[in-house]
Amino acid sequence: MNWEIGLTLLVVLGSIIAMIRSRLGPDLILIGALAFLMLADVVDVNRALKGFANQGLATVAILFVVAEGLNQTGAINRFVQSLLGHPKTALVGQLRLVFPAAFMSAFINNTPVVAMLLPVVNDWSKKCGFSISRFLLPLSFATILGGMCTIFGTSTTLILNGWFVQAGYDSIGLFEIAWIGLPLAIIGLIYLLLTSSWLLPERVSAETQFDDPREYTIEMIVESGSPLIGKSIGDAGLRSLPGLYLIEISRDDELIAAVSPDRKIQVQDRLIFVGVVESIKDLQKMAGLKPATNQVFKLDSPRSQRCLVEAVVSNTCPAVQQTIRDVHFRTQYNAVVIAVSRNGHRIRGKIGDIVLQPGDTLLLEAHPSFADVHRNSRDFFLVSRVEDSTPLRHEQAWMAQIILGIMIITATVLNFGMLKASLFAAMLMILSRCTRPSEARTCIDWSILVTIGAGIGLGEAMEQSGAAKLVAESVINSAGSSPTAVLAVVYGITMLMTNLITAKAAGMLVFPIALQAAVNLGVDPTPFAITVMISAAASFATPHGFQTNLMVYGPGGYHASDFLRIGGPLSLILWGCSVALIPMIWPF
């Protein structure tokens, strides 16, 4: 063993340990390891940076823009909400959630799918009165399982297929992997439904443990053409938002107090809510509802470019001891007061009649620049923007849905390839204003892209140094000359690594080893490539193994043991099924 092999294996092993034990992200660890091997001349620059020119990497980046357009227009929300309905039990809710989520992730990369569904499922679970922890972990697992059914279902599979082609082999067909992915997805989803109700305890979301106690009163009006018209208060989910209570309805000259859940919603109803800012933020995003104050529509910027801002009135503010109407707040600050809280409690009465006092907390609708302009103003003690509070562009939802359909058709039926199809869809999203250029720039998760690119670079280093060949020979020697036994060992190693480090890093590190093992055995490398694709994507036993697990970890209030309790047995089941089925579908 020459020094290049020893150094490469030492760096890779150190990277694995660092990703397990260190708080540094896998992107920093892997790029640091790659930089070290480049400086040591173990891998040349062109091969080290090969991963950053990978077609799959570019596709993943572009899909984030497509997902942002769907998210900003609420294109998925209404469809998913109607599909999920109002189940009576958590098990029925899981049944309605996991199969559509798995189906969607087969055609859209599963990371953007979870990003799109996370706020939808959060709102839906609140309306249904269930703990969010009952749904987010099954959501993540379902998207992982669904992502196994197509090449572009997960970014890991997409990247590895591109690497397989670069190695000189025929590309694996778009739906070819479904021969193994579909049976595994069905088995996994059935397992989830059978076990999650008793294996998964109810958790308190990390985001709700420190809820803001400030209460506001806000008045919303039902717009013409609203999807809420004709629905009961209960069916519309307006009585089950946590931290928010519908206290009365103003209808023509009638004031309806003690609102029944069976009360039907009518056009131009004025709904008066009292609650915390997080739930008011959810109201802002509901299609067919808008703040009742007509001042909102006199602001300079369109609603789709505004957000909620909280501002604490100072004792030197010129508005103190005056009503909001008399001080002409909108004209003076280019912002509209939609609710006021005093000493953490709501203030009754019409917004315009409230006499402002020092220390009052104003909930404003304004352009995001308001926070920057007035942060150091003497008029306010504190100004803070409410994150993720921009009203959705519901009027563009139909356009975003059409663009999504175009992307799927061009990628599958017309065989444009996922890169071209997603690039075309992203351009349409921006040109149609489903997402703004500034949103398109910020929505891309660069840490994921760096992890992928650096992981491929480390794989190239292992191949160039000869480390991949050495490890492959060791794997074969440990498993004997049986291709099935070697396949089982490759799956097991990848499965272990994908849960200890990350799916992408594990796939990049094991893939060259698996291909070399096939070459040494003198068999077709396709079943080995498929094995790594499946095992690298099937990360269930730890929260940090896969991006979607990390995305639901905090919002669901989960413990690491929750993933191991449910995901550990699932990983073993899929291991056995894969080793049995893959050689039957793709013979050696």
Query: Mean pLDDT, to the nearest integer, of 96-110?
Result: 85
Residues 33 and 507: their CA atoms lie apart, in Å, by: 16
Residues 136 and 555: their CA atoms lie apart, in Å, by: 8
Residues 526 and 63: their CA atoms lie apart, in Å, by: 27
Retrieve residue 496's tokens.
Answer: 């272990």
Answer yes or no: are the C-beta atoms of 517 and 486 closer than 8 Å. yes
Retrieve residue 167's tokens.
Answer: 């190695």
Query: Mean pLDDT, to the nearest integer, of 27-48?
Result: 88
Query: Mean pLDDT, to the nearest integer, of 203-213?
Result: 51
- Name the range with the highest mean pLDDT among 10-14, 44-48, 141-145, 222-226: 141-145
Model confidence pLDDT, tens digit, residues 514-539: 888 888 888 999 999 999 999 988 88
pTM, two decimal places:
0.68
Residues 65 and 441: their CA atoms lie apart, in Å, by: 8
Model confidence pLDDT, tens digit, residues 571-586: 999 999 999 999 999 9
Answer yes or no: are the C-beta atoms of 341 and 363 closer than 8 Å. yes
pLDDT at 241: 65
Fold of 216-385: Alpha-Beta Plaits (3.30.70)
Cβ-count burial of 398 within 10 angstroms (0-12 exposed, 13-18 middle, 19+ buried)? exposed
Query: Mean pLDDT, to the nearest integer, of 313-332?
Result: 87
> Closest Cα to residue 70, out of 126, 5, 114?
114
Model confidence pLDDT, tens digit, residues 54-80: 776 787 788 888 888 887 887 776 677
Residue 492 vs residues 13, 475, 496, 539, 581: alpha-carbon distances, Å: 17, 11, 6, 12, 15
Instruction: Provide the terminal-to-terminal Cα distance of the chain, rounded to the nearest Å.
Output: 30
Query: Mean pLDDT, to the nearest integer, of 416-439?
Result: 88
pLDDT-above-90 percentage for the chain: 15
Model confidence pLDDT, tens digit, residues 326-354: 888 888 888 888 888 887 666 766 777 88
Query: Mean pLDDT, to the nearest integer, of 102-114?
Result: 79
* Residue 361 β-bridge partners: 312, 341
Residues 259 and 248: their CA atoms lie apart, in Å, by: 6
CA dihedral 516, 545, 114, 454 (to 10 degrees): -50
Residues 378 and 360: their CA atoms lie apart, in Å, by: 14
Sheet holding 289-291, edge to edge: 254-257, 244-251, 270-275, 216-222, 289-291
1 pLDDT higher than 70: no
Residues 73 and 429: their CA atoms lie apart, in Å, by: 10
Residues 425 and 430: their CA atoms lie apart, in Å, by: 9
State the pLDDT confidence band at 206, using cuts at 50, 70 and 90: very low
Residues 134 and 122: their CA atoms lie apart, in Å, by: 11
210 pLDDT higher than 50: no
**536-553 in b/e burial notation, b at 16+ Cβ within 10 A?**
bbbbbbbbbbbbbbebbb
Query: Mean pLDDT, to the nearest integer, of 402-408?
Result: 87
**Token pair 């706020």 in the structure block, residue:** 119
Q: Letter for the amino acid at 220? A: M
DSSP state of 290: E
Residues 497 and 38: their CA atoms lie apart, in Å, by: 24
pLDDT at 495: 87
Could you tell me where in the chain the CATH 3.30.70.1450 domains are found? 216-385
* Residue 383 β-bridge partners: 311
Retrieve residue 13's tokens.
Answer: 């092993």
Residues 299 and 365: their CA atoms lie apart, in Å, by: 9
| Average pLDDT value over all residues in the chain | 82
134 pLDDT higher than 60: yes
